[in-house]
Amino acid sequence: MLRRLNEKSWKELDALKKEEVYLVLPISSLEQHGIHLPVGTDDFTMEAALKDLVDCPELKGDFWLLPSIHYGISPEHLDFCGSFTLTPQTLCAVVEDLIHCMTVHGWKNLVLLNSHGGNTSLLHGMAQTWKRKFGVDIFHVDFWGSDFFNDAASMLQTPIQLDIHGGEIETSLLLYSRPQVVKEAELKTMTDDLPELPKYRGSWTAKELSPKGALGGATKASAETGKALSEFVKNKVISQLEAIARGEG
Ligand SMILES: [Zn+2]
């Protein structure tokens, strides 16, 4: 089960077998997602997933949810208003401060549950350094910058590798879980922007690839697809967390 750590007292938490349980730290972003989705999209998809996962009896294992980090690494979106990014150094410093507190109290396992692709390579790149520095094992569940949605390809009309940002997946998820924040009138004016990410130039920006900021098949999105994708996200996170708890990866 995944339970909220901040609802417990220090005495309750101190009584846990801390070296055996898994802390889960959600990390998202605040950044543009095209003209049809809000800048809080990565936060809202995370919130919807957590709503399905917290206290869900289907999830086996002992997981404890930390309060979320709502900002991430988003310099690629800074050309668009409403995007706020941390520097990699700042995000690393915040996560390191939390890991330091884990070591004080004897927690040994941290799962970084990440809903923004811009965070993925940094968090993976730091994991071994944090292990060496703090003696804590770091695990990753990434919605983006990973193969997380590959098995959902058959639910989509857009080729999965081209549905990168504010496309069919994210638009569908919000049409289902939080339709009031989707800008329906703007969505009707959209055309799909399906560029491939540059093969060698890592310093691409979203605006260079798409003037409206969305990369993917937003016009193909529907609440029905969002319902199926929400179920997919819930089951996928459960299967990845359970694999982590079984020591499989
Ligand atoms: Zn996103």
Centre of ligand 1 to C-alpha 176, Å, is 15
Per-residue pLDDT tens over the stretch 118-166? 999 999 999 999 999 999 999 999 999 999 999 999 999 999 999 999 9
Centre of ligand 1 to C-alpha 242, Å, is 25
Centre of ligand 1 to C-alpha 28, Å, is 8
- Domains of the chain, with CATH numbers? 2-245 (3.40.50.10310)
Q: Are 71 and 86 in contact (CB under 8 A)?
A: yes
User: For the chain, what is the mean pLDDT?
Assistant: 97
Centre of ligand 1 to C-alpha 41, Å, is 6
Banded model confidence at residue 249, pLDDT cuts 50, 70, 90: confident
Tally Cβ neighbours within 10 Å of residue 192: 18
Banded model confidence at residue 19, pLDDT cuts 50, 70, 90: very high
Mean of pLDDT values over 69-93: 98
Residues 6+ away with beta carbon under 8 Å from 176: 223, 224, 225, 226, 227, 229, 230
Centre of ligand 1 to C-alpha 106, Å, is 34
Centre of ligand 1 to C-alpha 60, Å, is 28
Q: How far apart are CA 46 and CA 41, in angstroms?
A: 9
Mean of pLDDT values over 72-96: 98
Per-residue pLDDT tens over the stretch 181-221? 999 999 999 988 898 889 999 999 999 999 999 999 999 99
Classify strands 137-142 and 63-65 as parallel, antiparallel or unpaired.
Answer: unpaired
Centre of ligand 1 to C-alpha 33, Å, is 6
**Sign of the torsion angle spanned by Cα atoms 118, 121, 123, 126:** negative
Q: How far apart are CA 241 and CA 25, in angstroms?
A: 12
Mean of pLDDT values over 53-64: 97
